[in-house]
Amino acid sequence: MATQRILDFLATRRPSGPCLVVDLDVVADNFRAFEKALPESKIYYAVKANPAPEILRLLASMGSSFDTASVAEVEMAMDAGAPADRISFGNTIKKERDIARAYELGIRLFAVDCVEEVEKIARVAPEARVFCRVLTDGEGAEWPLSRKFGCVPAMAVDVLRHAKSLGLDAYGVSFHVGSQQTNLDAWDKALGDAKRVFSTLAEEGIALKMVNMGGGFPTRYLKDVPTAQAYGQSIFEALSKHFGNQIPETIIEPGRGMVGNAGVIKSEVVLISRKSANDNVRWVYLDIGKFGGLAETMDEAIRYPISTAHDGTETAPCVLAGPTCDSADVMYEKTPYPMPLSLTIGDEVLIEGTGAYTTTYSAVAFNGFEPLRAYVI
Amino acid sequence: MATQRILDFLATRRPSGPCLVVDLDVVADNFRAFEKALPESKIYYAVKANPAPEILRLLASMGSSFDTASVAEVEMAMDAGAPADRISFGNTIKKERDIARAYELGIRLFAVDCVEEVEKIARVAPEARVFCRVLTDGEGAEWPLSRKFGCVPAMAVDVLRHAKSLGLDAYGVSFHVGSQQTNLDAWDKALGDAKRVFSTLAEEGIALKMVNMGGGFPTRYLKDVPTAQAYGQSIFEALSKHFGNQIPETIIEPGRGMVGNAGVIKSEVVLISRKSANDNVRWVYLDIGKFGGLAETMDEAIRYPISTAHDGTETAPCVLAGPTCDSADVMYEKTPYPMPLSLTIGDEVLIEGTGAYTTTYSAVAFNGFEPLRAYVI
C-alpha cells in the first residue's frame, strides 16, 4: 500500500523520527470511487479522520462536503475552501455556545439524538436543519460503535417531532453501521429503521428529506475488503427495497475509507529483546506506539500491515510495543505479530493503511515524545 | 481533594473550557511525606506523570532527583534546575542516538533490561552506570504493568555481567510493582528477587550498589490508600529482611504519588440524555474524555472522584462519556457512575485526583478539540 510517491519521498527526504506520509493521489482516487459507487449520494468527508489542510483543500476542490465534530473542524473546512452549506456539524454532543458559533459561521445542518440537543439548537440556530441519529447494533464492524451516539428509532420520532414544533427543519435520519464495516448487509437493517421513522412522521405531516448513511467504509488492512462499488450496489439495493421509488436525499460520511489507505507511517525499530533466555516470543519496540498515533490498536482492534526490508524471509511471532514507559503502550501481544527473524535494531518499518485516525489521536507530549509528524504529498 | 487554593483559582479566574489546576503546595507536601517515610532513599520524580515546568522547578529546588523517559524529559529536568547527576534515563527502550545525546548532556545513569540495550550504552556512554529492571507480577496494582519492561532475575544477572564486561558500571537492579499499588507486601517479593541478583553477582566479584524500587505509590481516588508512612515502614522491613545490615542505596520513583492528588480537572456537562424513553441509565457527556486527558479510564481502570454543586442530593447511575465523535470515548459504562439527579447541562464538575497522567496523555487535536490546558498555582 505504500505508493511509489511515498517510497520516493521517504528515500529522498529521509525524515528523522516517526512520521506519517499521505499520498493525495490516493485520496483523490478514493473520492472518485465513492462518487462513482454512490452517484446519487453527497459525500461528507469525516474531517476527524485526518484534518490535514492539504487533504481538506483537495477534497473541497473536488466538490466534497464535510462532516465536522467541533467548531475547530468547521473552521478548518471553511479555511480549506468549503462553503458553509457544504458543512454538517455532525457531533451529537455540542455546547450551546459552539452551536451558536457554527450558526454564525453559516452552518445550517446539525446532528441530534435527543430532545435536549434539539432545544439547544432551537435556541441559538433558528430554522436550522436537524437530522436525528438512530442506534444500530454495529454487527460485523471491526471497531463497533457503542451506544454512545443515537437513540432508538421510536425516540427519533419524538426528537424530530419536537424539532419541528420548535421551528426547526426536521430534515432526516442518520445512522452509523460501525467503523471498518465489512458486512454489506449492515446498511439494509439500518435503512429499514430509517424508513420506519420517515413513515411514522409522514403520517403526522412531517416530511423528512434526507438519510445520512454515515461512514463505516473500510480500509484494507491485512484482509481484503469489499470495493466501494460493492458497497454502492448493496446500499442502492437496500435503499430501493425500503424506499421504493421515493428514495430520499442521501449523505455518506467516509473518513477511514477516504484516507486510510493513502497513508503510511515510517517507524524505526528501537529495540528487539527477550524476557528470559528460553522466551520464544521476541519483543519488538518501535519508535511509535499507542500514544504516538496508533491508538486504534486499542484492544488489538485494528491490525495494520507492516512491511520491512526483510519481507519474504522467515518470520517468527513478536510482541509489538511502543517506546514509552507506559505498560499499556503495547500494540499486539494477545495475538503476536509475525516479523522477520532477520529484523534488527535500527531497521525501518512501514506501517501501512495509517492515513486515518493517527495524527490527531496522538498524545501531545506523552513521555516527552513529540506528536506524530505528517507529510502530505 | 480540591484544595481551597484550587477552588479560589477557579472561582476568580473562571477559565473557559476544560482545564487542570495543580496546587504546588500539595506537591511540596507529598515530597516531604516521601522524604520522611523513606529517609534513606533518594527520590527520583517520574517526570512523565506531569512535566509542568512549575512542578519540576519546585521539586528541583527541594532537592528531588528525576526519572526521565526521553531526551526531551532530560532537558526539561535540566531546564528546571536539576544537575545531570540527579537525573536517571529510566526508559529501558532508547535509541542509541538518544543515549548518546543524554550522555553528552551529562547523564550517567541508565536503565536496561536486555544485553542489546547494554551494548548500545557501552558504545555511546562509556563507563556509565546501568541498572537492570527485573519483571514483577504487579499483583494488587490497579493499573498492572504488562511484561513490557524488565526481564526475569536470572537474565538480569547475565545483563549486568555483560555490562561489566563492556566497561560499564553494573550499578544495580530496578523493579516496578505496578502503578497505584495498594498491597504493601508487593515490595517484599520484588526485593527478594533483587537480593538474589545481588548475591549471585557478588559471588562473581561484581558488587551491585543500588536498588531502584520504582513507583507504584498510589493516589487516593474513591478508596482510601495506605499512607506514605505505611509504605515506608513496609519497604524498610522488606529491605532489612532481605539485605540485613547491608542495605544498598535505594531510589524511589513516585509519579502519581507525587502529583496525582495535587490536581483537579474542571469540566462542563455538555449533554445529559437517554437512549430510549424507558432507559434507566442516563448518559452524561462531559467536555473532556478519554482523548482529552482521561486516558487512564481505559478499561475503566482508574475511577476518579467527581464532585458537583449538587453533592449530597439523590443520585442515579450514569454512563459517563467524552465529547468526541469516537464511540471509544466513554469513561464509565460497565460500572455506571452515580451522579446527582439534579445535574443539568452546563453544570461544572470537578474531576479530582487528576494531577498525574492527564495533560501529556491528551490527544493533540482529536476531533478538533485542543489538548488539556493546565494551570499550576
For residue B97, give the CATH number of its domain: 3.20.20.10
Q: Which residue of A has its CA nearest to B73?
A: A368
Asked if residue B217 and residue B336 are part of one domain, the reply reads no
pLDDT of residue A217: 83
Closest residue in B to A99 (Cα) is B270
**How far is Cα A306 from Cα A284, in angstroms, rounded to an integer?**
12
Is B232 domain-assigned? yes
Q: Do B112 and B240 lie in a common domain?
A: yes
**Residue A268 sits in a domain of what CATH number?**
2.40.37.10
Which of A16, A112, A287, A325 is most worth mutating to test chain B (most B CB atoms within 10 A of its CB)? A325
Same domain, A224 and A371: no
Taking contacts as CB-CB distances below 8 angstroms, the residues of chain A near B368 are 47-48, 51, 68-73, 76
Flag if A276 and B154 touch (Cβ within 8 Å).
yes
Q: Are residues A231 and A286 in the same domain?
A: no
Residue A25 lies in a domain: no
**Nearest CB neighbour to A360, from listed B92, B146, B364:** B364
- Integer Cα distance of A174 and B196 in angstroms: 63
Q: Does residue B71 lie within any of the structural domains?
A: no
| Same-domain pairing of A102 and A149 | yes
Q: Is A325 among the catalytic positions?
A: yes
CB-based contact B363 A361, cutoff 8 Å? yes
Residues A333 and A205 in one domain: no
| Cα B59-B62-B66 angle, rounded to 5 deg | 45
* B18 lies in some domain: no
3-state secondary structure chain A: CCCHHHHHHHHHHCCCCCEEEECHHHHHHHHHHHHHHCCCEEEEEEHHHCCCHHHHHHHHHCCCEEEECCHHHHHHHHHCCCCHHHEEECCCCCCHHHHHHHHHCCCCEEEECCHHHHHHHHHHCCCCEEEEEECCCCCCEEECCCCCCCECHHHHHHHHHHHHHCCCEEEEEECCCCEEECCCCHHHHHHHHHHHHHHHHHHCCCCCCEEECCCCCCCCCCCCCCCHHHHHHHHHHHHHHHHCCCCCEEEECCCHHHHHHHEEEEEEEEEEECCCCCCCCEEEEECCCCCCCCHHHHHHCCCCCEEECCCCCCEEEEEEECCCCCCCCEEEEEEEEEEECCCCCCCEEEEECCCCCCCCCCECCHHHCCCCEEEEC
Inter-chain CB proximity B276 and A327 less than 8 Å: no
Are both B125 and B214 inside the same structural domain? yes
- B208, part of any domain: yes
What digits encode the pLDDT tens for the residues A119-171? 999 999 999 999 999 997 655 555 555 689 999 999 999 999 999 999 999 99
Name every chain B residue with its beta carbon within 8 A of the beta carbon of A146. 327-328, 330, 333
Segments of chain B scoring below 70 in pLDDT = 137-146
Cβ separation A154–B277 shorter than 8 A = yes
For residues B243 and B177, membership in a common domain is answered with yes
d(CA A241, nearest CA chain B) in Å: 27
Contact A325 B91 (CB under 8 A): yes
Phi-psi region of A31 (alpha: psi -120 to 50; beta: other; left: phi over 0): alpha
- Residue B202 carries which side chain, given as an amino acid letter? A
The closest CB to that of A94, out of B93, B96, B270, belongs to B270
Write the secondary structure of chain B as one string of H (helix), E (strand) and C (coil). CCCHHHHHHHHHHCCCCCEEEECHHHHHHHHHHHHHHCCCEEEEEEHHHCCCHHHHHHHHHCCCEEEECCHHHHHHHHHCCCCHHHEEECCCCCCHHHHHHHHHCCCCEEEECCHHHHHHHHHHCCCCEEEEEECCCCCCEEECCCCCCCECHHHHHHHHHHHHHCCCEEEEEECCCCEEECCCCHHHHHHHHHHHHHHHHHHCCCCCCEEECCCCCCCCCCCCCCCHHHHHHHHHHHHHHHHCCCCCEEEECCCHHHHHHHEEEEEEEEEEECCCCCCCCEEEEECCCCCCCCHHHHHHCCCCCEEECCCCCCEEEEEEECCCCCCCCEEEEEEEEEEECCCCCCCEEEEECCCCCCCCCCECCHHHCCCCEEEEC
**Residue-range definition of the domain harbouring residue A174:** 90-254
Picking from B16, B193, B326, B345 by the largest number of A CB atoms within 10 A of its own CB, the best residue to mutate is B326
Cα–Cα dist B144/A98, whole Å: 39
User: Closest Cα to residue B180, out of B214, B144, B210, B207?
Assistant: B144
> Are B218 and B149 in a shared domain?
yes
- Total of domains in chain B: 2
Inside any domain, residue B289: yes
Distance from CA of A287 to the nearest CA of B (A): 8
Is the pLDDT at A296 greater than 80, yes or no? yes
**In this structure, is residue B163 part of a structural domain?**
yes
Residues of A in contact with B158 (CB under 8 A): 277
Co-location of A269 and A208 in the same domain: no
- The percentage of residues in chain A with a pLDDT greater than 90, rounded to a whole number, is 82
Q: Say if residue B204 is in the same domain as residue B152.
A: yes
CB-based contacts of B14: which residues, under 8 Å, 6+ apart? none
Q: Which residue has the cell 448513511?
A: A213
- The domain boundary, picked from B254, B281, B308, lies at B254
Nearest to A330 among B146, B152, B363 (CB): B146
Q: Which residue of B has its CA nearest to A358?
A: B366
Contact between B70 and A116 using a beta-carbon 8 Å cutoff: no
Confidence at residue B178, expressed as pLDDT on a 0 to 100 scale: 81
For residue B80, give how far its alpha carbon lies from the nearest alpha carbon of chain A (Å).
Answer: 15
Residues B225 and B269 in one domain: no
Single out the residue in B226, B254, B282 at which a domain terminates: B254
List the single residue in A with minimal CA-CA distance to B150: A275
Measured CA to CA, the distance from residue B181 to residue A339 in angstroms comes to 35
Contact A276 B362 (CB under 8 A): no
Q: d(Cα B351, Cα B267) in Å, to the nearest integer?
A: 7
Query: Which of the listed residues B220, B238, B254 is the one where a domain comes to its end?
Result: B254
- Does residue A27 lie within any of the structural domains? no
Query: Chain A contacts of B95, Cβ < 8 Å?
Result: 268, 270, 287
Does A184 score more than 60 pLDDT? Answer: yes
* pLDDT at residue A349 in the model: 98
- Check A285 against B93: CB less than 8 A apart: yes
With CB atoms and an 8 Å threshold, state whether A71 touches B368.
Answer: yes
User: Could you say which of A70, A150, A362 has the minimum Cβ distance to residue B369?
Assistant: A70
* Residues with Cβ within 8 Å of residue A280, at least 6 apart in sequence: A316
Task: Return the sign of the alpha-carbon dihedral for residues A6, A11, A13, A15.
Answer: positive
> Which of B327, B330, B344, B345 is the best mutation test for A, with the most CBs of A within 10 A?
B327
| Cα of A320 to nearest chain B Cα, Å | 10
Tens digit of pLDDT for each residue in A49-92?
999 999 999 999 999 999 999 999 999 999 999 999 999 999 99
